[in-house]
A = this chain, B = another copy of it.
Amino acid sequence: MALFNRQLCLESRPMGVPSEDNIRLRCTSLCRPGPGQVLIQNLYLSMDPAIRGWMSEKPSYMAPIELGEPVRGSTLGRVVESAHPDFQIGDIAFGLACNAWEDFSLTPAEQLVRIPANPPFPLSYYLSIFSPVGLTPYFGVLDIAKAKPGDTMLISAAAGAVGSLAGQIARIAGCRTVGLVGSDEKCSWIVDELGFDGAINYRSCTDLTSAIAEACPEGVDSYFDNVGGEVLDAALLNMNNFGRIVFCGAIAQYNNEDAVPGPFNYWQILARSLTVRGYMAPEFEGRFAEAREALGRWMSEGRLVFAEEVVDGLENTVEAFSRLFSGANKGKLMVKLRDISEPPPTIDQIREAVAQELSHA
């Protein structure tokens, strides 16, 4: 069996939602790990809206993906060769935003996290509930919003992966939770299945500001914002004095290449003595174990509902990714490249593939 690496590479910078015109499948040769590196065979790819940002040229908290390079992302896989003493062949490990949409990733060992042998949860959890998707709402709700019993927390994109967890964690913390979603079906889902106290379909209501006021009769103490834009403007007009805005995302602007203005009601931040705090999970890296323990416990107690949607096959990745932006997905979206029961390539196969490639060079 010829062994090579299939990679989804960024061919051109997308305008709007990325398509297969922007991202092409290429077959490339395999490389063996250099000192300190580990070769991972990917089992799961994580589909995250942030990846869209890295496809643009404008600098953000991470450098743009270079044209021609595979699309950067978080993956979970198994070690097939290692040049670092902490990783052995057969170990399962994941890497956040350091691997790519490809069969094999070559990764510096210090960017990988090994999963304990025989984990009590499905492997996919490590890219979903235990990844930034769960860690981000955990710290956003508890540390940034400083959720406390009796608070009203408003959550945008509340049927999304982060938003649905934010609302449930806020509820565990004793908050009254109201979610903003894009369909009546999602309204029912977050209230009936996730235990939100209220839900608003922002697409169908005529006056979002009034709709929030009605759903939050005591005002909004904290707003967990994944969206930005007009929804943020409506939320600002409902904030209680000294309220907190957790700035976790701004999905409304990710596919917009033009300059996007900040909220028109920015003045309310002063008028209501609000705090707006941007953050990302790595700020709390020292407490990830605490968070994973709590999230895992809540899952096993049935207090957290967390939907996963797993699409099969690298060849379906671009289409799957585009669904993040049409609202078609429900829960954390991942692409499964292969099952763990499928035998991994042996070290001899890898060496042979690399040797063949070198002989062609």
Contacts and interface: CB of A to CB of B under 8 A. Distances in A.
B270 A274 contact: no
Majority DSSP secondary structure for residues of A touching B:
loop
Nearest to A276: B276
B267 A250 contact: yes
A266 B259 CA distance: 10
Interface stretch (A66-74, A277-285, A324-332): A277-285
A55 B242 CA distance: 25
Given A259-B264, A264-B262, A274 B269 contact: no
A2 to B, nearest CB: 42
Interface string A51-83: 000000000110000000000000000000000
Contact of A261 (B249, B264, B270, B272): B264
Contacts of A261: 261-264, 266
A260 interface: yes
A223 interface: no
A268 B277 CA distance: 11
B271 A276 contact: no
Contacts of A242: 283
A275 B273 contact: no
A204 B195 CA distance: 56
Interface in A218-276: 228, 242, 247-250, 253, 259-276
A333 B266 CA distance: 27
Nearest to A253: B267
B262 A250 contact: no
A236 to B, nearest CB: 9
A140 to B, nearest CB: 11
Interface residues of A, number: 32
A279 B283 contact: no
Nearest to A265: B262
A267 B270 CA distance: 18
A270 B283 contact: no
A144 to B, nearest CB: 9
A273 B278 contact: yes
Nearest to A260: B264
Contact of A273 (B250, B265, B272, B280): B280
Interface in A259-315: 259-280, 283
A279 B273 contact: yes
A276 B267 CA distance: 12
A249 B266 CA distance: 11
Given A273-B280, A275-B276, 5 more contacts: A249-B270, A263-B266, A269-B278, A271-B278, A275-B275
Interface of A: 60-61, 228, 242, 247-250, 253, 259-280, 283
12 contacts: A242-B283, A247-B270, A250-B267, A250-B270, A253-B267, A259-B264, A260-B267, A262-B264, A269-B278, A272-B278, A273-B278, A275-B278
